[in-house]
A and B are shown apart, each in its own frame.
Chain A
Amino acid sequence: MTPVASKLYTDDVSLLMVLIDTNPFFWNSINSTLSFSKFLSNVLPFLNSILLLNQLNQVVLIATGYNSCDYIFYSSASQNHNQRAESLLQKLEEFVAKDESLCREDSVDGPGFSLLSGSLSMALCYIQKVFRSGPLHPRPRILCLHGSPDGPGQYVAIMNAIFSAQRLMVPVDSCILGAQHSAFLQQASYITGGVHLKPQQLDGLFQYLSTVFATDLHSRSFLQLPKPVGVDFRAACFCHKNTIDMGYICSVCLSIFCKHHKQCSTCGSVFG
């Protein structure tokens, strides 16, 4: 896995894209070990520590909302360095307000689904822009701090994003904050060569982040990082978005269905 040559930059310069889950329904439903404010108070020092590791490191923060996603913070933007945290939090508040204004439902059952596919795509676009900016750039990776359950409607979009990340050789790390496992993020980390972790103790989140996720890509070749036991590779059917073991597959576009259909809903080919 050789990256594009970065001649002046040393091996351990990284560009870290952090995707934080700001789904309010999820944060509302989570038990009290980790409230959103505690979560932020772990993440902000982590971002600072990344920037301390190397002068050339860059961090970009993207918020994954319920209705929209947006860039919250760029470390490369020129601003008063003492005011970083303040400006980050302010932008976050504005984002949440905007997300609320886009909300069309009065109430939601359970934790709801956040737009992971959207923020993954935004992260990959930013990375692509960095790649095209010239021969000298840091090695990018994506870190997903995610808690909401997997939205089956986003299966196709997330898989596409994962394959693009794999092709660009960008690892996707994932840290699961919620109670349940996320099959999408497990697959993402496995396929792209990233690290997947579900912390047992959420109040020590900063320790997890700095031990496991702060490692740059060059160091990962000689550091031991946690490895999940097995990855759930099962697909979700395209019609009901349920995970299935056996199903029907369209021979033209390889879409998966759990029941026999007369016509493929993805490519329109008629089954004889």
Chain B
Amino acid sequence: MYSLLVPSFCAINKLSSALFQGGNYIFEFDSFADRDICREFVAAAIAFHGETGKSTSEKPAAALQDEQLSTAEMEHRIKLLQEDNELQRLHKQFVIGGILTEAEFWATRKKLLDQNDRRKPKQRVALKNEMWSVKPLSDGQSNRVTFNLTPEIIHQIFAEKPAVRQAYLKFVPNKMSEKEFWTKYSRAEYLHSTKNVVAAAAEAAEDEELAVFLKQDDMLTNEARRKIRRVDPTLDMEADVGDDYMHLPDHGLLREESKDVLDSQYEPYRRYFSQDLNQHAAVVLQGRVVDVELGDTRSVAEALARTKQAELANEVSDGNLEKDLSHRISRVAEIEDLQGPRDLAVAPLCIKDPRDYFDSQQANALKPLGDAGSGVKTLKFNVSSVEAYGSLRELISEIRVTGLSEPITDPEVAFKVLSGLTQNISSTKYHLGKSPHESILDSLPKVTKEDLLHHWTSIQELLKHFWSSYPITTKYLYTKVTRLKDAMSQVYPKLQEIKESVQSDFRHQVSLLVQPMLQALDAAFAHYDADVQKRSAKSGERPNGFM
């Protein structure tokens, strides 16, 4: 039995490697929260290790002793590694292979780690969609009717019927206890369910508090009026597409509208089904407005009242809403002639994946630096500006006098040009693909392509760490550079292998693609050797006996 209070990466690693060696373990926790954290952790670690296969817990455990990371951070790293295959490969190759430490690896990726620091909120539970329909349990034997009120239902009642909420805040615990309040409320609901409006009116006359429940909700009507003023008159066809009002009568709910015409004195006691339905729908779609524990009824009521107040205050202070609405209306239902000019369409900024440019580097492999690729020697001669301009102007006037030649081009020359172009286009199409951005890389077999790209990214990673370690000032950097140098020297034979594994048609292109990588590695090695020489020269200068 293991007792886990604060999981650390080392512990989990050892555990998970032990898990893979067989054997069962039971974990004991102090609280549910701990258990949940650990459960997510272990699941991620298992997935992670499941993919890497063998137990490699020794090296990371050793490497991490100097670093204490929070659980959230560890989880975050594991999640990042799981999501990005390439990152995982690099991590496996370098960190688990012992070339880079975990800290170094993540040091250059701070941006990734900072993203998603806030964990996504756990999924929130919405309100029930079921309208609380009165189905009291009634014993066949006695005249008792029982209502079940759970905190969930109470929350929903408060959300849907502001008058009830206000009454609760007013009456409880001053005038009546909670139980009495709910009894009265249930009685009111029961009366409504009997559809006996006359009886409802009669009871309301007797009992003042009951009357509150039986009458129509004034607060609700005020809210409705406010909402109507803010309704968007433009028609959104897309939003209405799925609505189907005709299918089921009453939407499948068990309610009946009584169609009798009653006296006006009974009007306030009627309840309209459509109103109830609309209000219920609006509340459910709005979701949970307050995040209060449902146990205490009073606090729920107060919290809801507070949010409604806040909303009201916001609406009053937000005079811009009407202006925005009118803007929107004018934009959607626009008359084009009367509109002013609008913003131009521009291409959005897109930061390209450097891998797209990988194969264009081969052009540089052929051209030496500084030379713009001309095979022709540039003639160095000196021309006076007067002469140059003079001859230009002469030529222009020559044309003005003689006019354009006829034919414009010699037909043979034109034909040669055309056939040359056609040949050029068809041959490059064959070799390089149709669109200007299609590349040789795509025409290689998939395995080779993946290998090449992976080598390229790993070389980039190595070189990044290599160059950032210079100038070498501490022993730590020195050992790091040595490690990196050894890793880099192992890349050469691997690249050679790739070159040889490809079919002969592609061999030349692959070697062109590999060339810049080799050049980069060569430059790094040259720098390393030069630096070593400098150091040995320096240390040679020190007089004997001094360290």
Contacts and interface: CB of A to CB of B under 8 A. Distances in A.
Interface of A: 1-4, 22, 24-25, 27-29, 35-37, 40-42, 44-45, 85-86, 89-90, 92-93, 96-97, 99-100, 103, 105-111, 131-132, 134-135, 149-150, 166-169, 179-183, 190, 193, 199-201, 203-208, 211-212, 224-227, 229-234, 242-246
Interface of B: 341, 344-347, 349, 357, 359-364, 366-367, 369-370, 372-374, 376, 378-389, 391-393, 395-400, 404-405, 408-410, 413-414, 416-418, 420-421, 424-426, 428-429, 432, 434, 436, 519, 523
Contacts of B373: 180-181, 232
B337 to A, nearest CB: 11
A225 B396 contact: no
Contact of B385 (A85, A108, A167, A168): A108
Given A3-B345, A89-B396, 19 more contacts: A24-B391, A28-B387, A29-B383, A37-B395, A40-B396, A41-B399, A93-B393, A93-B397, A96-B389, A111-B378, A132-B341, A132-B344, A168-B347, A204-B416, A211-B417, A226-B424, A230-B363, A230-B364, A233-B364
A42 B393 CA distance: 17
A135 B360 CA distance: 38
B382 A109 contact: yes
Contact of A105 (B385, B391, B418, B420): B385
A4 B347 CA distance: 11
Given A25-B388, A89-B399, A207 B367 contact: no
Contacts of A190: 360, 436
A44 B374 contact: no
Contacts of B347: 1, 166-169
A2 B363 CA distance: 31
B369 A243 contact: yes
A248 to B, nearest CB: 10
A226 B420 contact: no
Contact of A41 (B378, B387, B408): B408
B404 to A, nearest CB: 5
B523 A246 contact: yes
B425 A107 contact: no
A231 B372 contact: no
- Max chain B CB contacts within 10 Å: which of A107, A149, A205, A233? A107
Contacts of A225: 425
18 contacts: A36-B395, A99-B389, A100-B385, A107-B385, A109-B382, A132-B341, A134-B341, A149-B372, A193-B436, A201-B416, A204-B416, A226-B424, A227-B425, A229-B363, A230-B362, A232-B364, A232-B367, A245-B519
Contacts of A24: 385, 388-389, 391-392
A159 B67 CA distance: 45
A149 B372 CA distance: 9
Given A97-B393, A232-B363, A107 B384 contact: yes
B413 A207 contact: yes
A1 B436 CA distance: 15
A234 B516 CA distance: 12
B380 A109 contact: yes
Contacts of B409: 42, 203-207
Contact of B344 (A4, A36, A45, A103): A4
Given A22-B392, A99-B389, A131-B344, A208 B417 contact: yes
B324 to A, nearest CB: 25
Nearest to B388: A24
Given A24-B389, A96-B392, A229 B428 contact: yes
